[in-house]
A and B are shown apart, each in its own frame.
Chain A
Amino acid sequence: MLQFWKKSGFKEKSQSSSSSPTTSTPPNSPSFSNTDDKQSRPGSFDSCRSGPLASFEDEGLFDICENEIPKQHSRLSKTLDEVLEDKSALGYFAQYLESRGGLSYIHCWLDIEQFKSEAQKLTDGTKEDLSDTRNFLSPLPSTKIDHDSLSVSTDCDSYTADSYSLCDYSSCTLSEIKMSLDAKSSQCEKVKVDVSNSCDNKNSNDTSHTVNFGTCRNEINSNCSEDKTHIKVDRSPIRNKSSIQRLTDDALRIFKMYLSLEATESVKCSEELRKEIIENICDTSKVLKLDCFEKVEKFIHEILEKEYFQAFLGSDYFCKHQIDVLTSGNIVLDDILYNETALFYFMEFLEQENNRSLLEFWIAASNFQMQLNEQKDFFDPREAQSDAIVLYDKYFSLQAHCPLGFSDKIRFAVEQNICGENGIMLDCFHLPLKIVEQVLERNYLKSFIASQLFYKYLSELINSVHTNGNFNSTDGNKYAPSDCSSEKSFSTNSTFLAMQIPRSNQKIRKDKGTDMNIDTRQLYDPDSLWKRKINHRLSFGRITALGKYETDFEPEPDTRVASRLKSVVKKFMEEDKKKEEMAWQVAEMIVKDITNITMQEQKGFQS
């Protein structure tokens, strides 16, 4: 360890001696240009810089970097919480769970989330009336709650108003997610009833729901006629009472569907958890506190994380999600850098561009930063400093084994961060990391996305999905007949299929396009267009070096030149079927002849 301190001291001395002659001032205007190792700036101390960043100007970056908010997150790599928040990924995750018989977990999760969002609104609006509400409700066993829900006392206007107030975009969106997920579910009928309950303004053709609705209407009408004299006096508490009652009904429905012993979509929780939930449902204050299902959520989250999520990441459904991200046209650098598979291809791409060291430095420095962040207050300053010095020696120092070409200004800043008066700073490589990220994003990301490697990566993802694509289509066909009774479900299913098929066709076209000769030639030989013109000129005539047009069919008085061209053209036309190389050789001969004649004419003119 003393070696490092001695080494640092020595470097500080050498740096101070070498930096004193430096008096050059950086240019006033910052300019971002492509890296060019051979480029040099005369009259500047920085001309001795070498490496991929030698010509990169970092003026102004000190201010820019401080304002950036680090994401460090790729849409191609997701944690379970990120999947649950991303609707697109959630859709694929639900399909995967269905294929493994775990669909009830995601259903239960979504129902609880919706329950919490509705309870949140009521809690905000009814805090002041909570004490009054207790006077109108008393704790009741679950069996009696059934009875009360059927004989609720309310009037028509109040009921309608409450229904509409609950039907906002958020609830509808959640319901729509469930609707699309349930397109292939055997529980479709029940879920539709639930959706209609929470979004009363939607029409439904389901006959069973119509019957229920009629029953509710009869109850409402009879109660109105009996309690007319009491409605006006108790209007406000009655509204709160009905809203709270609906929350209790929702909680009871979730319990019956997922948690009870006879649940149709049982999540198989423990007996202790079930009893605790029963107690929470019977206590109105706990229902309003939003946490009556908290332990169920934790239970489901643990099961999803342990038993399903890791396998989902390796499944075809997640591949489809990745394909969606990669073909969205909105790929950013973080999507590549923080996904190890995309990073594998990107590293290969930079290897071909001979700038691999940029990404190597980024990986090493960001890993250094990540492990320091993980240790937080328990990191060893001397250990961290020795790690930082290893990176500095390799990429920044004047004797660097793998120089990147950072400017002296950046190098001094890094030195100060590593060996400053206050010891090592946790983000000592933050500035060079940001510079490298900007260079990678501006100079390499677009060409990588347009490169053969990227299309190969994308086609491999597509191929892995296609091998099982037929199976998915068959499943879709099987579900279609059973959903014909409902227009909504059928249209949803059709929409899903319609969205899938054209996309696949487009991808197939892309895949084939990369193998066509014309595209390959255009990619590697942009001059191919004007070379075809040579063939054209060979057929009809030419323009001499002096700018005069001569056709092959009407030779000029200069018999010598014309006769040669005639004979050559005749040979060429007779050998139409010969290879392209022969054509190029003929072109070379013609050009040489013209060149020789032109040179002779010039000599004659001078003499």
Chain B
Amino acid sequence: MSAGPYNYSYIFKYIIIGDMGVGKSCLLHQFTEKKFMSDCPHTIGVEFGTRIIEVAGKKIKLQIWDTAGQERFRAVTRSYYRGAAGALMVYDITRRSTYNHLSSWLTDTRNLTNPNTVIFLIGNKCDLEGQRDVTYEEAKQFADENGLMFVEASAKTGQNVEEAFLETARKIYQSIQDGRLDLYAADSGVQHKPSQPGRNTLTNDQQSNKDNCAC
């Protein structure tokens, strides 16, 4: 039994939403595998990724639900919004239509998640400066008006990808500390996993067991 899967204090549930082709799955892949997936097929329904990070000395496991951006999957993926502690809303800075649809994605998020859900706006593909179609200032203003955190990132170069996921987790953790995010609400998207007192005994017993097996 490896200690890895159990070595964390909290589990946060994230959802990644946005139009098709903006790079949601590539962002997830860059964050979980630390590399760019150039040949990325479109997502069917929902895909899944996990990673353990550290916030304020606590190990936190992120359970990330990557949703399909096609309109035909939208009704299906709405069922996975409930219980998300963090929502990453992604648009493509080289395609204005993906930015124009953010209001619709934001409405869905507000209606289907907890009021305390942290929403992070990500403008992906910032490495394609020559094809920029949405300015940073305009998106920043949209984020400020709606109370969202905002950053421009690139799944290809990895720029700001780590920051987006980590800042969301820090914000969620802060909500827990302030008491705004109810740790004991089953739909909060957060699981508290206190350390178990029997852990040390288990380790010692294993060693003793090995020695006894040598008889």
Contacts and interface: CB of A to CB of B under 8 A. Distances in A.
B53 interface: no
Given A351-B5, A360-B48, A367-B76, A460 B185 contact: yes
A595 B182 CA distance: 58
Interface in B173-215: 182, 184-187, 189, 191-193, 196-198, 201-202, 204-205, 208-209, 211-212, 215
Contact of A393 (B41, B82, B83): B41
A525 interface: yes
A517 B186 contact: no
A364 interface: yes
A383 B189 CA distance: 33
Interface string A276-302: 000000000000000000000000000
Contacts of A352: 5-6
Interface string A430-464: 00000000000000000000000100110011011
Contacts of B106: none
Interface string A331-368: 00000000011001101100110001000100111111
Interface residues of B, number: 44
A28 to B, nearest CB: 37
B41 to A, nearest CB: 4
A391 interface: yes
Interface of B: 5-6, 11, 13, 41-42, 44-48, 50, 63, 68, 72-73, 75-77, 79-80, 82-83, 182, 184-187, 189, 191-193, 196-198, 201-202, 204-205, 208-209, 211-212, 215
B63 A348 contact: yes
B68 to A, nearest CB: 7
Given A341-B83, A371-B75, A591-B215, A390 B197 contact: no
B72 to A, nearest CB: 5
A391 B197 contact: no
A147 to B, nearest CB: 53
Interface of A: 314, 319, 322, 340-341, 344-345, 347-348, 351-352, 356, 360, 363-368, 370-371, 374-375, 383, 387, 390-391, 393-394, 453, 456-457, 460-461, 463-464, 467, 517, 520-521, 523-525, 527-528, 531, 580-581, 584, 587-588, 591, 595
B186 A588 contact: no
Given A344-B13, A374-B76, A387-B44, 20 more contacts: A340-B82, A341-B187, A347-B48, A356-B48, A360-B47, A360-B48, A366-B45, A367-B44, A367-B45, A367-B77, A387-B42, A390-B44, A456-B191, A460-B191, A464-B186, A520-B197, A521-B201, A524-B198, A527-B209, A580-B201
A581 B203 CA distance: 11
27 contacts: A319-B186, A322-B186, A340-B83, A344-B189, A345-B191, A348-B63, A351-B50, A352-B5, A364-B45, A364-B47, A367-B68, A371-B73, A374-B72, A374-B76, A457-B186, A461-B186, A463-B184, A464-B182, A464-B184, A464-B185, A464-B186, A523-B198, A525-B198, A525-B201, A525-B202, A525-B205, A584-B208
